[in-house]
Structure 1
Amino acid sequence: MPDSTLDPQPVYRIRVAVPVYLYDCFDYMLSAAQYQQAEVGARVLVSFGRQNLVGIIVEKLALDTPIDPRFKLKAISELLDEQAILDPKVLTLLTWSAQYYQFPIGEVMQSALPSLLRQAKPYNLLARTWKLLDAHAETKITRSEKQQEAYKILKLHPSGTSENILNLAGIETATLKALANKEICACVLEAQDFSPMPVTLAQMPLTPNPDQKKAIDSVLKVRQQYKAFLLDGLTGSGKTEVYLHIMHEVLKQGKQVLVLVPEIGLTPQTISRFQSRFHCHIALLHSGLNDSKRLQAWQAAQTGKASIILGTRSAIYTPLPNLGLIILDEEHDLSFKQQEGFRYHARDVALYRAHLENCPVILGSATPSIDSYALVDQGKMQCLELNQRAGTALMPKIHLIDLKIAKKQHGISQQLIDEIKKRLAKKEQVLVFLNRRGYAPVLICESCAWQAKCPNCDANFTLHHQPYTHLHCHHCGTIHRKPEQCPACNHAELKPIGMGTAKVEDSLNELFPNVDVIRVDRDSTSRVGSWQKIYDRIQRSEPLILLGTQMLAKGHHFPYVTLVAILDIDSGLLSVDIRAPERTAQLIVQVAGRAGRGEHKGDVYLQSVRPDHPLLTTLVEGDYRKFAKQSLKERKAAQLPPYRYSALIRCESKSQELNQQFLQQHAQWLREHSEQLIEIWGPIPAPMERKAGRFHAHMVLLSKDRARLHFYIRNWWQNMLHEKPSSMKLSLDIDPQEFS
């Protein structure tokens, strides 16, 4: 009889996605008890090389799975979760994303986790709850309106309420701490309550107009199955009201709604609309939250406690047990495409997620992307049009001003100055748009024509006067002090050329000294809460001039703006990027759409040296859809995306010769092995060849067959990464949205 002690012991193994830049998952051993407890989708702490890393279990291997004798298995260091924190559908979505965007699976998995969970912190984070200590403290807070508001809300919740809920109600943590210092309230740490909150209406819905009702009915017919809709509505046509009607029906079924917006700046007004309509738990997910608040919001979504999840791009990967509807507002916006690292597009991921979840998805925009129109043409998406502005508001009229012949002051035409004066005299608001921050884009010597150029990039320095006078490269971040005289000829006069928002602000203050000018750009809104204060000010009925960059173009509702002035759009008309006309048209229509959304009719004045440009004349006729249809025809004739699928290889090193040599070698291999199914453009120098001291090159791959394109890229790309010199950086961008 054989000796049982010689029988091989079973090896319990799991496959783990580890956050390293490798395309494989890795096997680890664990004890029988750990194997029994481990769940696919849970976190484990593992040793990888010299590091301890947090990975995700993607598979529990059967005991008879062969072991590769070349590798010595390591045991896991710790099982971090008793239950899976990523459900099977989200794991499928993440696996698909890693394969489609050709990015390491472990890195992709990490993108679905809040920062604290990536750091091996425990799942059960205690929640900060604020409780009232003094119910008769009115006399202690007579001076601060914020503290009075916080006190009133705390009084409504004698048993305490979470800090997240208070923050969503507009009460800042600093205000609560100020009350705590006066011993009016106190913060306690308590175990989180993940039980769902019932959904009730806080406000009766508005009666939809015929276009809105048709759109609402179309979505609700299929609310329990997958279907993609493009909500193509003019600016101010009431797209949000359509969302709210559909959301109400979905929420009544006990389902969750995921709403994505392109930028943090849109979340205050969006959450305000949701809170005024629904009494329910709303989870907010964006990069402006600190780590603990982001984890708590993520947990509220992942456990089903939150009924509405409002977030930016990365929220598309949030686990949601009862997902019933996905909404992507401003679906055309470039912010939905990640431009570094894992270069996914939230719009395309949202379509695939809705398919997995078997629920409808709505892409909304006044200026839909050409790609979305193509999906409608292919029958993959249904278009729902909203052709009239909500209420009594009318579409603004666009007027072109020829800068070649116009009289100007400070770069602003006299005609435009006169129009601004008329609006301000009527106590109305004016929006002045210039998509260029700083004081001036060029600093030049009037004597020898020397220009202040960045030493590290093929770009000029931008002149800034705040917080002190300096030169700033907006591409690599280099900052220099402004020279007192010309470095080339010692001439004393250096002249700023062109306009940035800071310079226009000075000009407007000089032209309209009795009216407040509010500047909105990345420089003026860098402080936490600054944008919210500006937004609140705009909502008051008082004359002012609002000046800013494309931050102002993204779906904001400014009811008192009746005049929009676009100072310079010509650079977008001259770009070589195939998507530049589309981006320019969208920007013009979106900015123009901020005018006349209230009771008074709006007008738009656009300054240009090319007022006869076909794109501008089409938009003056108020027809973005006509422009889009023409663009689709042109792209089809030229066989450009979306009529061919594309991938962009970006290469950077200390030598352009090295870039060209390396890319050319690998392009040749692909040409020989891809059965002529892939067309290769390049390699060529990038539009900005030198950036941050390194040289950049591009290579574009195009094919009519998406599956074959991805098939040939997969191994070819991983070989490139393996063979590249250590000093070289490579990136692969599937379905690129920019070629810069």
Structure 2
Amino acid sequence: MQASNSNSAPIYRVRVAVPVYLHDCFDYSLSAEQYQQAEAGARVAVSFGRQHLVGVIMEKLAPDAPLDPSIKLKAITELLDERAILSPKVLTLVTWAAQYYQFPIGEVVHSALPALLRQGKPYNLLARMWKLLDDNAEAKVKRSERQQEAYKILKLHPSGTSENILNLAGVETATLKALEKKEICTCVLETQDFSPMPVSLAQMPLTANEEQKHAINSIVKTRGKYQAFLLDGLTGSGKTEVYLQVMQEVLKQGKQVLVLVPEIGLTPQTVSRFQSRFHCNIALLHSGLNDSKRLQAWQAAETGKASIVLGTRSAILTPMPNLGLIILDEEHDLSFKQQEGFRYHARDVALYRGHLEQCPVILGSATPSIDSYALVQHGKMRVLELNQRAGAALMPKIHLLDLKIAKKQHGISESLLEEMKKRLEKKEQVLVFLNRRGYAPVLICESCAWQAKCPHCDANFTVHRTPYQHLHCHHCGTIHRMPEHCPQCAHKELKPLGMGTAKVEEHLNELFPDFDVIRVDRDSTSRVGSWQKIYDKIQQSEPAILLGTQMLAKGHHFPYVTLVAILDIDSGLLSVDFRATERTAQLVVQVAGRAGRGERKGDVYLQTLRPDHPLLNTLVKEDYRQFAKQTLKERQAAMMPPFRYAALIRCESKEQQLNTDFLQHHAQLLRQSAELNVDIWGPIPAPMERKAGRYQSHMALLSPDRARLHFYIRNWWQNMLHSKPSSMKLTLDIDPQELS
């Protein structure tokens, strides 16, 4: 049947993904001329209800496609792109992701676009180019090292170069503006050149050992087809060199490489490694970029100009016309799972994208996730092991310190302090790890035992002393001034209990006054460029104490660290989450791996009240792989993920009973489904029952049959969303990684 209007003329339609919280695409009409120009993957401006939105064409419908005559189509407002900016493979990828994670397609498609394109801005923004005005200005910059360095780099580009390239070379925009004020250089706006630059080697590869050669050859053989590899290499075993040599072979073919890292903090050292090895265009994609720089980097990837794209998890959706290799470094890291909104896991999306693009995918880690080991066990991924550290470096030895019997100063064992002193006097560096920022986790009254609790959460306030004394809830963000007396009994002696990184920093400065204490946590690295300055300082060979949270544990190379001290490992052994021991084991091994990466042997000291804990003893006497084997057996016996597939419903409202009644009602509806092979756990209160003034409840669904689980969830979840009270917030987390 031919679609027609009253004049029997053809009706031209496109199906558009619109960024609204609905799971369907919507049909819009357009003129014959517009229909000829329109392409799937291009943006359009549309009217949706009373809103004016930017959508993406997902499909051009044939003019004779059937159309219900009762439906009155809206016309698109404007074609925003002359060509598709999302390729057919990316459209397939986002469609699959929306279906798999049961999330609105329009929101998923928008997450594949940079902010300026989501806002409807034109694709062809002008690039900021910097050119020298004075090539004899050494005297004007002699007082500033940064300006001297920027000036030297600008002299290498007499015809000018883009701000992005200068930023990648370590030149900050503020430094360029300072030179502009001195009339040494100027900024001009030019049309961007998206033509790819030829790739060449800037530095010869290192000599690979036999294990590295085997890994490189195994991966290179699979170029041009999909194969997933788990590169399971000890910390310091040269995984990056394997990446670089495989990348070299892929880049030789004119293909692009996508490299994902878990956090922004890892990008400076990774960029440095890539730049020192390859002469090519490298695009950076992460949340630390402003909107225009992110758009330019995205365009460099989408046009094929960038040979290497380096980014955090959202970069997995970036269009790349010649993608030939995907690498996830530190694949076990929880940062690869989006924990709000579109709750995808970049690792799983990367595996599906590799299948679509027919290219190899490398997941690298010293502590692979139990999920990845299960994929190897099920034959869906090949494992490649690296069992020796690169060069002469040896694996560090782990020592357990029993806090029940140890003599302590400020919560640190005296024997550990003595070891730290010896290393510092030998001009070595020491890393002290505590996964708790702030000054102290509890403020208590010494008279009546009152504790400073967040009024909105089931949690204590954390005491902070910078930039001023205050109480801060790390869960909802509430900040209160420090009370002058106890609000319960008016007693004036309020005591901070426990230790955060700021308090440990204070004690270490007192205990080691002759050495630098460099604190690395979210508070000390909040300013733009602050982490890079800290990292550069650590790379100098001066003796120092590095103190920090998980930011210090993630893949960094600290060649002068010979001793690692983990002050509190017990909190990770007490969690209700079944993945807690896995996370704790990964953390211990990753932090321990920062020791002894240079020529000197490293040691690791763990302070614990439970030196007999099976997990700690497995790590000390055997290794992480043995722990993983035991954990796989335990998970299989208990039929827990990855041996069953899971979905977690999170329900949030102002009344816990409302949550419970609503979830129980819908659980009963699901149980009535025919041939249901799904276990329903809950509803139960969340581990933190009250957060930001609202009550949280959970309900988990588990099934050994992934397809069946998704089939039953699809309509049931839509029914839940449509029937929930307006004051209630519901989220669905497919393959949840956390229970909080």
Which position in structure 2 is the counterpart of 1:400? 400
2-side partners of 1:613 and 1:443: how far apart? 30
User: Which residues of 2 match residues 446-465 of structure 1 at below 5 A?
Assistant: 446-465=446-465
Cα distance per residue 1:211-256 (max 9 Å; x no partner) = 1111001101111110000000000000000000000000000000
Which position in structure 1 is the counterpart of 2:669? 669
1-side partners of 2:712 and 2:68: how far apart? 27
Alignment CA distance shift 1:706-1:142 (3 Å): same
How many residues get paired? 737
Answer yes or no: is the 8 Å Cα contact 2:5–2:11 preserved in 1. Answer: no
Cα distance per residue 1:436-455 (max 9 Å; x no partner) = 00111011111111111111
Which position in structure 1 is the counterpart of 2:121? 121
User: Which residues of 2 match residues 506-585 of structure 1 at below 5 A?
Assistant: 506-585=506-585
TM-score by length of 1: 0.99
User: Which residues of 2 match residues 723-738 of structure 1 at below 5 A?
Assistant: 723-738=723-738
Alignment CA distance shift 1:473-1:372 (3 Å): same
The amino acid that maps onto 2:224 is Q
2-side partners of 1:474 and 1:498: how far apart? 16
User: Which residues of 2 match residues 331-730 of structure 1 at below 5 A?
Assistant: 331-730=331-730
Q: Aligned-pair distance for 1:145?
A: 1.1
Q: Aligned-pair distance for 1:111?
A: 0.4
User: Which residues of 2 match residues 52-71 of structure 1 at below 5 A?
Assistant: 52-71=52-71
2-side partners of 1:504 and 1:153: how far apart? 41
2-side partners of 1:140 and 1:566: how far apart? 48
2-side partners of 1:483 and 1:38: how far apart? 63
Q: Aligned-pair distance for 1:622?
A: 4.5
Q: Is residue 18 from structure 1 mapped to residue 38 from structure 2 by the alignment?
A: no
The amino acid that maps onto 1:188 is V
Which position in structure 1 is the counterpart of 2:86? 86
The amino acid that maps onto 2:80 is L
Q: Aligned-pair distance for 1:66?
A: 2.3
Cα distance per residue 1:177-217 (max 9 Å; x no partner) = 11111111101100100111101000010000111111001
Which position in structure 1 is the counterpart of 2:49? 49
Answer yes or no: is the 8 Å Cα contact 2:452–2:460 preserved in 1. Answer: yes
Helix, strand or coil: the match of 1:467?
A: coil
Answer yes or no: is the 8 Å Cα contact 1:236–1:593 preserved in 2. Answer: yes
Answer yes or no: is the 8 Å Cα contact 1:674–1:712 preserved in 2. Answer: no
Answer yes or no: is the 8 Å Cα contact 1:255–1:323 preserved in 2. Answer: yes
Cα distance per residue 1:88-145 (max 9 Å; x no partner) = 0000000000000000000000000000000000000111111111111111111111
Cα distance per residue 1:653-705 (max 9 Å; x no partner) = 00000000000000001011052310000000000000000000000000011
Q: Aligned-pair distance for 1:403?
A: 0.4
The amino acid that maps onto 1:540 is Q
1-side partners of 2:664 and 2:632: how far apart? 32
Cα distance per residue 1:337-395 (max 9 Å; x no partner) = 00000000000000000000000000000000000000000010000000000000000
The amino acid that maps onto 1:571 is S
The amino acid that maps onto 2:623 is D
Q: Aligned-pair distance for 1:72?
A: 2.0
Helix, strand or coil: the match of 2:136?
A: coil
Alignment CA distance shift 1:5-1:412 (3 Å): closer
Q: Aligned-pair distance for 1:621?
A: 2.1
Alignment CA distance shift 1:674-1:713 (3 Å): farther
The amino acid that maps onto 2:656 is Q
2-side partners of 1:97 and 1:502: how far apart? 41
Alignment CA distance shift 1:464-1:142 (3 Å): same
Helix, strand or coil: the match of 2:485?
A: coil
User: Which residues of 2 match residues 89-108 of structure 1 at below 5 A?
Assistant: 89-108=89-108
Helix, strand or coil: the match of 1:179?
A: helix
Which position in structure 1 is the counterpart of 2:266? 266
Which position in structure 2 is the counterpart of 1:155? 155
Helix, strand or coil: the match of 2:672?
A: helix
Identical-residue share of aligned pairs (%): 82
Helix, strand or coil: the match of 1:568?
A: coil
2-side partners of 1:86 and 1:381: how far apart? 29
User: Which residues of 2 match residues 150-189 of structure 1 at below 5 A?
Assistant: 150-189=150-189
The amino acid that maps onto 1:447 is S
Q: Is residue 240 from structure 1 mapped to residue 255 from structure 2 by the alignment?
A: no
Q: Aligned-pair distance for 1:5?
A: 12
Q: Aligned-pair distance for 1:277?
A: 0.3
Alignment CA distance shift 1:407-1:6 (3 Å): closer
The amino acid that maps onto 1:521 is D
1-side partners of 2:148 and 2:671: how far apart? 70
2-side partners of 1:212 and 1:5: how far apart? 66
2-side partners of 1:284 and 1:483: how far apart? 45
The amino acid that maps onto 1:720 is M
Alignment CA distance shift 1:5-1:57 (3 Å): closer
Q: Aligned-pair distance for 1:71?
A: 3.2
Helix, strand or coil: the match of 2:474?
A: coil
Q: Aligned-pair distance for 1:8?
A: 1.7
Which position in structure 2 is the counterpart of 1:192? 192
Answer yes or no: is the 8 Å Cα contact 1:199–1:279 preserved in 2. Answer: yes
Q: 4+ residue runs of structure 1 moved beyond 3 angstroms?
A: 4-7
Cα distance per residue 1:708-733 (max 9 Å; x no partner) = 10000000000000000000000000
TM-score by length of 2: 0.99
Which position in structure 2 is the counterpart of 1:326? 326
2-side partners of 1:300 and 1:475: how far apart? 37
2-side partners of 1:71 and 1:656: how far apart? 42
The amino acid that maps onto 1:590 is Q
Q: Aligned-pair distance for 1:70?
A: 4.2
Answer yes or no: is the 8 Å Cα contact 2:651–2:730 preserved in 1. Answer: yes
2-side partners of 1:132 and 1:373: how far apart? 54
2-side partners of 1:670 and 1:115: how far apart? 39
